[in-house]
Amino acid sequence: MILHLILLSPLTPIEDLLRHVLNWFHGSVGLTWAWSIVALTVTVRLLLVPLTVRQIHSMQNLQRHAPQMKEIQKKYKNDKKRQQEELMKFYRENQINPAASCLPLLAQFPVFIALYFVLREFSKHPPGGNLSWLGHNFVPDITAHANAHWSGYLLLAVYVASQLVSTMLMSSTMDRTQRIMLMVLPVVFVTFLLNFPVGLVIYWVTTNLWTVGQGLITRRLMPKPQAPERRSSRSPSKETEPAPAPAPAEPAPAPAAAPAEPRRVKRKKKKARR
């Protein structure tokens, strides 16, 4: 009850907004409720695209500085905490904007919760109109629980698959345990999702598929030329033919020298933000 209050009161405006957008998609655009949910999800994700673009840029930036960061990681191999701190310091000194940040993630959080409440209200007071999706034989009622019909299970399977794919797509940026956890958890979550309204599962599948698509495009856009540079620093593994001689002894071709122009080193001194 308290949790409900804490979560709900600040969310009411978002909830109202989402309900309005949903109603608009249904009433004015003429989509079914299920497609309205999909449209709403896509809208939210579209609004988040600028953030993603920024993330791509910062990922490229990270890639450029990867050798130095590896160095730091090696230096403090035995002290994870210190390592983290040094890395963070390095980020700041080099004006690197790490890809991850909490706010965009959290931006999805209220949307999800609000959508949950909106859809829960749906199932309590079903609105008029078409509540099926992709034909009455596939998803008869999006307000019903996911385990009420075989299509719910199918959607959940799609959800798990998309989650796994998106984990694999971004796997290069995380460590092993995190990856394994992300692989196992969707399966655990499915047990909860079984009791969620199908509409919510549709939201989840849509947003996940969007993530996968975005990941694929990002992969395409991410320039690979960084790879040879990284290879030159150590591990000549791939370059077997051109360099058979034990060349790695030569004085490492200054990994820091990558960018041609000085890419505006300092912006405003430190000046103690916040």
Partner 1 sequence: MRYALRAPTYVGMALVHAYRWTFGVLWGGSCKYHPSCSQYALDALRHYGLVRGSILTGWRLLRCNPWSHGGVDYARDQRLFR
- 19 forms part of the interface with partner 1 (CB under 8 A): no
Site map (CB under 8 A) of partner 1, residues 37-56, x = contact: --------------x--xx-
Total residues contacting partner 1 by CB under 8 A comes to 39
- The label of the residue with tokens 């820091």 reads 256
> Judged by CB under 8 A, which of 13, 27, 104, 129 binds partner 1?
104
Least distance between partner 1 and beta carbon 158 (Å): 16
Please say whether the beta carbons of 211 and 166 come within 8 A: yes
- The label of the residue with tokens 């994870």 reads 80
Nearer to partner 1, 3 or 260 (CB): 3
Q: In angstroms, rounded to a whole number, what is the distance separating the alpha carbons of residues 192 and 142?
A: 17
> Judged by CB under 8 A, which of 46, 88, 216, 222 binds partner 1?
88
Site map (CB under 8 A) of partner 1, residues 155-184, x = contact: ------------x--x---x---x--xx--
- 264 forms part of the interface with partner 1 (CB under 8 A): no
Distance from chain centroid for Cα 216 = 12
Q: What is the DSSP letter of 155?
A: H
> Judged by CB under 8 A, which of 58, 68, 132, 233 binds partner 1?
58
Nearer to partner 1, 6 or 8 (CB): 6
- 226 forms part of the interface with partner 1 (CB under 8 A): no
Please say whether the beta carbons of 173 and 220 come within 8 A: no
Nearer to partner 1, 60 or 233 (CB): 60
Q: In angstroms, rounded to a whole number, what is the distance separating the alpha carbons of residues 206 and 3?
A: 27
Nearer to partner 1, 110 or 255 (CB): 110
Q: Which whole-number Å values give the CA distances from 9 to 3, 15, 39, 124, 266, in the listed order? A: 10, 10, 25, 20, 43
> Judged by CB under 8 A, which of 1, 5, 105, 265 binds partner 1?
105
Q: In angstroms, rounded to a whole number, what is the distance separating the alpha carbons of residues 51 and 99?
A: 10
Nearer to partner 1, 36 or 163 (CB): 163
Residue type, position 208, single letter:
N
Q: In angstroms, rounded to a whole number, what is the distance separating the alpha carbons of residues 3 and 5?
A: 5
Find the binding residues for partner 1 in span 194-223 (CB under 8 A): none
- 10 forms part of the interface with partner 1 (CB under 8 A): no
Please say whether the beta carbons of 113 and 7 come within 8 A: yes
Q: In angstroms, rounded to a whole number, what is the distance separating the alpha carbons of residues 243 and 147?
A: 59
Q: What is the dihedral of CA 43, 209, 166, 152, to 10 degrees?
A: 120
Residues at the site binding partner 1, with contacts judged by CB under 8 A: 2-3, 6, 51, 54-55, 58, 84-85, 87-89, 91-92, 95-98, 100-106, 108-109, 112, 167, 170, 174, 178, 181-182, 185-186, 189, 273-274
